[in-house]
Amino acid sequence: MSLDDADSIAPTHVGDPTQDEGKPSVDHDVEKRSIKDVADPAHLTLRILPWRRRVEPFERILSHDYAGSGTEDDPYVVSWLNEDREDPMNSSDFYKWFVTVIVSLVTLAVGIGSSAYSGAIEKIGLEFGGTEVQLTLGVSLWVLGFALGPLVWAPCSESYGRRNTLLFTYSFLTLWSGLCICAPNLTALLIFRFLAGAFGSSPLTNSGGTIADIFPAAQRGLGMAIFCAAPFLGPSLGPIIGGFLAITEGWKAVMIFLTVLAGGLLLLAFLCLPETYSPVLLRARCERLEKATGKKYIAVMDKGKDTRFASILKVNLTRPWQLIAYEPIVMILSLYIAIIYGVLYSFFGAFPIVFQLGRGWNAGVGGLAFLGILVGMIAALAWIILYDNPRYVGLIKKEVTGIVPPEARLQGSQIGGILIVIGLASFAAVDAASVHFMIPIIASAPFGAGMVLVFLSITNYLVDSYLLYASSVLAANSIIRSLFGMAFPLFTPAMYDSLGIHGAPALAAGLAALCVPFPFLLYKYGPAIRTRCRYAAEAAKLLDQIIAARKAAAAAAAAALKMKQAA
């Protein structure tokens, strides 16, 4: 079950040939004749462009029968036609995966940018001075941008499209990253880093939506797994890249790399990334139809909704906090992910203490210590692709309605939570300089694997549990997660000074251990808890409607088949 299944009640990706039933056919014929007399279909057909490879002939769009009267009070309702070339769902499999790779790369690059700075902290300190905490702000302020930026970029994508929002924000990410190169002092550098993080955060919320736009729910698991791993793989790669660049070429080389990376991906997105958000695409189609006919049209997804940017922004700024305050499931699971995310970012301060100060490694070699976490993440991704996603698809196929309870998503977090505790506890036990360096690196791998499993499992569980509120739930999750990711690196040096290299990761293991029971408790009591929560209960009612509609459709199909066989 996924967010887009909420559309099952009123399909939007396939044209409905019966949608005009009950309207006088004569009026339609008259209308179509007048349309053909005044319109120039070829002129209004969209041009093929590098980022728009398939277009629907406007003559076919124009001649279709739309429900409604074409007036202000009763506009024609526009949905995708059958086999519509411009419907993102109808793109080829190759093109869908090409788009998935692009949005995953732009997300990965933002994660790299957040942590590559950590490999250059020593060089930056030598040039600008500053305390350890002040220098670490270069990481924390970037991650703070992750918390604030999506509150604006999510409504922007709903109003102006995912492509336009990404191009706009990535242009400024490239600008602010470039200004970091010529920052005159530490204060300016930190300001530019914060702005880069805020503008670069748009893929964290919008890229997942792009994947949901192009893949049906049953095929979406693999694409979402690859995309959702990017926010964790990026931060693990950053210290390796930043460390070697800083010691060989200086800290400005790190900023140059991040600027070139952002600029290159911006160019790739400009040339190749299509618009995939159906409401925005259909609104543009409505404008062309209005230009051709003088009648009023509305996208089917917009009917009965307030689509003004100010209204969408207001919801995005307020509803996440309401969900955190009134939905215990959202609060508990967001806190769980936030703790794990904070621990990951604390390692950007902890690993230099353990491997550079403790063993005398330079920043480049010290960055290689993150390979253990990186390998663990890749192993978890392989497990999801080879086992967990096929398992879930198998459960869907067993159900007549194609819908399974949200609790079916929790297996990964049950396993991942245990792996996180094992990884942190093992690392705490073997991170002394007297132990061979490979042992603590290997010990960190279960943490990386568990982190990906928990994140993907909980994210999918929240989406399935809240359906039409899923965007706000994920925004709430992102806010808390990013705030923890901002704060943890700031107090990591003091924590390691106070508790030592064994006590500090042991404390993190203890915090993670307290969260391990959450998925198990929700697996048993989740349905009962959701019925007592306002937003979850509303989503449950919608889910019941979807199930009823699918059962009715299945029954009708079975009856039709039976009649056909009898005939």
| pTM for the full predicted model | 0.83
User: Structure tokens of 555?
Assistant: 């029954």
- Domains 91-276 and 308-551 belong to one CATH topology: yes
Q: Which residue ranges make up each domain of the chain? A: 8-84+278-302, 91-276, 308-551
Residue 550: per-residue pLDDT: 67
For 75-132, the DSSP string reads PEEE-PPTT-TT-GGGS-HHHHHHHHHHHHHHHHHHHHHHHHGGGGHHHHHHHH---H
Sign of CA dihedral 176, 180, 186, 190: positive
Residue 401: per-residue pLDDT: 73
Q: Hey, is 204 helix, strand or coil?
A: helix
Burial of 172: CB neighbours in 10 Å, binned 0-12, 13-18, 19+: middle
Residue 308: per-residue pLDDT: 85
Say how far apart CA 41 and CA 45 lie, in whole Å: 6
The fold adopted by the segment(s) 308-551 is: Growth Hormone; Chain: A; (1.20.1250)
E strands in 193-341: 297-299
Q: Residue-wise pLDDT tens for the chain (567 aa)?
A: 444 444 333 333 434 433 443 344 434 444 443 455 544 667 888 899 999 989 999 989 988 989 899 999 999 999 999 989 999 999 999 999 999 999 999 999 999 999 999 999 999 999 999 998 999 999 999 999 999 988 889 888 888 999 999 999 999 999 999 999 999 999 999 999 999 999 999 998 888 889 888 988 667 778 888 888 888 889 989 999 999 999 999 999 999 999 999 999 999 999 999 999 999 999 999 999 998 888 999 998 888 888 888 888 888 888 888 889 889 999 999 999 999 999 999 998 899 999 988 888 988 888 899 999 999 999 999 999 899 988 988 888 888 777 788 899 999 999 999 999 999 999 999 999 999 999 999 999 999 999 999 999 998 898 888 877 877 888 888 889 999 999 999 999 999 999 999 999 999 999 999 999 999 999 999 989 988 888 888 877 777 776 777 677 777 777 877 887 776
Residue 557: per-residue pLDDT: 74
Using alpha carbons, list the distances in angstroms from residue 412 to 209, 277, 407, 419, 519: 22, 29, 11, 10, 9
Residue 37: per-residue pLDDT: 52
Residue 154: per-residue pLDDT: 85
Q: Which residues of 482-521 are buried (b: 16+ CB within 10 A; e: fewer)?
A: bbbbbbbbbebbebbeeeebeebbbbbbebbeebbebbee
Cβ count near 557 (within 10 Å): 10
1.20.1250.20, 3.40.50.2000, 3.20.20.70, 3.40.50.11900: CATH of 91-276: 1.20.1250.20
The DSSP letter of residue 48 is: P
> Residue 467: left (phi > 0), alpha (psi -120 to 50), or beta?
left
Residue 12: per-residue pLDDT: 39
- Could you give the angle at the alpha carbon of 290 between the alpha carbons of 288 and 295, nearest 5°? 160
